[in-house]
Each structure stands twice: as structure tokens, then as C-alpha cells.
Amino acid sequence: MNFPFLSVLTVAPLVGAVVVALLPRTRPALAKQVALGWSVAVLALSVAMWIAYQAGGDRFQFRESYPWIPNWGVRFTFAADGIALVMLMLIAVLMPLVILASWHDAERGKRNVPVYFALLLALQSTMFGVFAAADVFLFYVFFEVMLVPMYFLIGSYGGGKRQYAAVKFFLYSLVGGLFMLAAVIGLWVLGGHTFDWQALVDANFSTGAERWLFLGFFAAFAIKAPFFPFHTWLPDAGGAAPAGAAAILVGVLDKVGTFGILRYCLPLFPEASRYFAPLALTLAVIGIIYAALLAVGQNDLKRLVSYTSIAHFGFIGVGIFAFTTQAGTGAVLYMVNHGLATGLLFLVVGMFVARRNSALVSDFGGAGKLLPLLAGVLLFAGLASLALPGTAPFVSEFLVLLGSFTVNKTVAVIATSGIILAAGYVLWMIQRTTQGTVNPALASNEGMRHDMSLREKVVVAPLIALIVLLGFYPKPVTDVINPAVKATMADVGASDPAPAAGTTEAAR
């Protein structure tokens, strides 16, 4: 089947964004419906792509290549391996739900409603592009352009310190991006004036050059992911962004960082990756513990969820730099599951915030008595987030720890303690918001009298279903991921240690 899935997926949301932006400002309902319909159509196309993908086939599928800037050897080259495919699916699944969840978000504060949904669709387009690109220049272009819609989503439609958060987000990402630009230029000059990913993987660099180039890319991705100590923008951005945009930001957009490490740092600079792996592992482990501790102390729900994400990115980092197929598969699976679980958590928190007009934990208390259903969903999202067995994140976290334990026991042991802290911040947050005696301010709050509406149920139901499904039966996803991760690890030149008996069964 030769349908150009990737380019169509990249362009379609952009067309949708233009259409929605051109709708009259006076008809917000129409804009929402068009945006929702469009994103559902994109989802349908993505599902078709998933079906067309051959799990056991070539490493890169759906390859397309068109000339762009011949003078620099830049081409519009799209191709997806298993890792990119699952990320593309994740975006496609999340976007309609986020649009539905943000139904009334833009109306507060007399902002332009069509533009909000147009920005979401534009963001989707750039994210598709960044995951589908197989040309380093093209990847860089999407990596940077992606900032612009997100910047306006946070800055124009956020709450609290939205201006500060938006600028901080933009500057941090731009700084990382410019380090990467220097590395991209170096890669281009030293790699023989080509941007083609495959050609660059085959190119040889001197050890010194390779290490510097690795650092350039790694800086960008470590800021994006974010890893400790480059994480400080995320709580601000996550806290200020509207809940839907925050779900996209943390659920998908940040995954560009870890995806970039897997797709670019490891295969392009294998020697440097091995050289810097201890550093990366250290940062990841510090991130797990440090962010979890900070999450325990947060009083702002959205900031709290942002910190939990930083801890989870630490797990993903451990999985990537352990250099075993098992841990790598776990890391990629974690990227998907974290997108679902944290996305759900952000959306549910957003529903609480919309009712209370406050994201402070101390403004809640006993909310479960007033909103039993919503509180139940929050509990589920929280438990998924702390990787309770039976939910999808458990599988991935277990794989990461198992895969890293075989090669680096110290890291695995320290990371495991992060699970305990995770239980701490999630359960304590749920206790303080939904349990105990009812906060008197809540009882008199008009919004707190309405439990979940049908729209909100439709938003959370697919996510809950996916989390449970992948918790019990992750095989469809791991089958796609596994070959890609194996190939990536082969690029790095890491060989798996002899597997201990029974570990592969645990993966199933």
C-alpha cells in the first residue's frame, strides 16, 4: 500500500487549522465542531496507517521523499519506524479528546475561540511532522516551529502567570534548539553535506567531533524532555497552560525529547552515546527522585502533575540509556503510556479546576462527596500514574527496571525507590483533594454541584479503556516497538545480556 500517510497526516491538520481560523469569531460552536470533526478524521486516517504498518516488516515504512532545498541537500523525507508510529498514534488519539475537553476553555476571558482550536490543530500538524521526519533539517524545522502555536496557547489562553510561563517555555526550548542548530550544522558539514538520516548514520565522525555533536543534540532533547536540571520551565508551563494544552504539552510534545534521543543521538553518535550514558543515567535518576520529592510538596494540582511527569521522564531516560532491548522497549512503551495516563490526569484535573476556578489543592478537600464520579476518575488516573499493576504504566515501568537491573543494579535500585515516592505524591494529593471532610467553600460553589457531564465522560472513557487494555495486553504495541528498539540498540552497538529466565514472559 503506497498511500502517502505521513505527509497527508502532517498537512491535514494544518489545513484544518487554516479553515478553523478563518471561521467567523461570532460562531464559536461551529469552530469547535469543525475542529473536532477534523481531528476525528485525522484519527481515522492514523488508524488506517496503523493497520497498514507491517510489524515485522522494514524498519522504516511509509517512506516518502521530495526535493526541497537542493543546494543544501534538504529533502522532505518522511518515514516512520515503530517508535514514531506509536507516537503518531498517541497524538492522533489525544487530539480529539483534548479538543472535546477544551470545549469551554477558550470562552473564559473573552478570547478568540476559533483561534484556540486552530492553534491546537496547527500544533498537531507540527507534532506529526516532527515524529515523521527522516531528514535532520526537516526535523529541526518542525522542532522549532512547534514552539510557536504552543507559545500562543499558553500565553493567550492560560491562567496565572501565563506570560511568564509562555516566555520561559519558548526561551528554554529555543536555547536547546539553537544548541541543536549548531550541532545540525556541524553534522551537515562533517557528514558530507547531506541531511538524510540514513546517510548520516552511515557516516563516520572523529571521536571528538562526535561527542560535541552528541552534546548539541542532547542539550536540546534534555531541555525538551525535560531532564533534571533543565526542567524548571515545565512546572511553570504546565501550571499556566489551559488543561487541554497542558495534556498535549506533557503528554506528547515533551516526548519529542526522548524520541529525539532514540532516533538521533543514539544511532548517529553511538560512541558518544555510550561515553555519555553514565551522565545521562545520573541526570535521569536524580530527576526521578528530585521531581518526586518536589511533587509531594506541591499545592498546585497542575504543577504537581508536571513534576510527576519529570519523574516519569527520568524513568524513560533510564530505560533509554540502559542500552538493553528490554529497557528500551519499556522506555518507548512508557512514552505511550505516560501520554495516556498523564494526559488523563491533566484533563481530569482540568475538570476540577474548571469547576472550582482554582488549581490549589488547599481549595479542595472532600470533593469526592460532591463529585463522586469525577473523584473516582481522578483516583484511577492517579493510580495509573503511579504505575499500579493492571494499568498500562506498570508494564512499562517494570520493563524499564528489569531491563536496567541486568546491566546496572545501582541505577535500577535507586529508580525503584521512585515508585514509592510516586505512591506518596499521588495518594496524598488524592486524599487532600477528594477525601476527608468537605471544604465549606466547596459546598457553596455552583460548579461543584454538577458531576461529570456526558462530554466529560466521552473524554475520559477512551483513555481509561486504553490504559486498562494496554495494562493487560500490551502485545500489539510492543510488537511494533520491539523491532525498532532492537535496531536502535544495534546502532549503538549494545548487545543484550543473556536474559534471565522468565523476563520475556513478564513483558507479555
**CB 290, CB 228: distance < 8 Å:** yes
Binding status of residue 166 toward another protein by CB under 8 A:
yes
CA dihedral sign, ordered 66, 178, 217, 151: negative
Strands (E), 119-239: none
Binding mask 260-299 for another protein (x = CB under 8 A): ----------------------------------------
Nearer to another protein, 170 or 290 (CB): 170
CB of residue 211 to another protein, shortest distance in Å: 14
Residue reference for cell 475561540: 113
Nearer to another protein, 148 or 438 (CB): 148
Nearer to another protein, 103 or 157 (CB): 157
CB of residue 424 to another protein, shortest distance in Å: 36
Q: What are phi and psi of 54, to 5 degrees?
A: -100, 110
Q: Residue 332: helix, strand or coil by DSSP?
A: helix
Binding status of residue 22 toward another protein by CB under 8 A:
no
Applying CB under 8 A, which of residues 2, 26, 54, 71 lies at the interface with another protein?
71
Site for another protein in 72-91 (CB under 8 A): 72
Binding status of residue 239 toward another protein by CB under 8 A:
no
User: What is the enclosing helix (H) or strand (E) of 69?
Assistant: strand 61-69
Number of residues located near another protein, criterion CB under 8 A: 30
CB of residue 194 to another protein, shortest distance in Å: 13
Nearer to another protein, 18 or 443 (CB): 18
Site for another protein in 167-206 (CB under 8 A): 167, 170-171, 174-175, 178-179, 181-182, 185-186, 188-189
CB of residue 360 to another protein, shortest distance in Å: 23
Applying CB under 8 A, which of residues 29, 54, 56, 70 lies at the interface with another protein?
70
CB of residue 71 to another protein, shortest distance in Å: 4
CB of residue 153 to another protein, shortest distance in Å: 12
How big is the CA angle at 186 (ends 185 and 190), to the nearest 5 degrees?
120
Q: How many residues does the chain have?
A: 508
Site for another protein in 383-442 (CB under 8 A): none
Nearer to another protein, 147 or 305 (CB): 147
CB of residue 242 to another protein, shortest distance in Å: 14
Q: Cis link prior to 229 (omega < 30° from 0)?
A: yes
**CB 116, CB 106: distance < 8 Å:** yes
| DSSP per position, 432-501 | HHHSSSPPHHHHT-GGGG----HHHHHHHHHHHHHHHHHHH--HHHHHHHHHHHHHHHHHHT--PPPPPT
Nearer to another protein, 71 or 444 (CB): 71
User: What is the widest separation between alpha-carbon atoms in the chain?
Assistant: 69
CB of residue 19 to another protein, shortest distance in Å: 18
List the one residue out of 10, 18, 47 whose CA is nearest residue 129.
10
List the one residue out of 325, 291, 326, 324 whose CA is nearest residue 308.
291
Q: Which residues of 224-249 are buried (b: 16+ CB within 10 A; e: fewer)?
A: bbbbbebbebbbbbbbbbbbbbbbbb
Site for another protein in 134-163 (CB under 8 A): 140-141, 144-145, 147-148, 152, 155-156, 162-163
Nearer to another protein, 215 or 419 (CB): 215
CB of residue 60 to another protein, shortest distance in Å: 23
User: What is the enclosing helix (H) or strand (E) of 79?
Assistant: strand 74-80
Nearer to another protein, 161 or 450 (CB): 161
In angstroms, rounded to a whole number, what is the distance separating the alpha carbons of residues 305 and 320? 23
CB of residue 167 to another protein, shortest distance in Å: 6
How many C-beta neighbours within 10 Å does residue 443 have? 12
Residue numbers at the binding site for another protein (CB under 8 A) = 68-72, 140-141, 144-145, 147-148, 152, 155-156, 162-163, 166-167, 170-171, 174-175, 178-179, 181-182, 185-186, 188-189
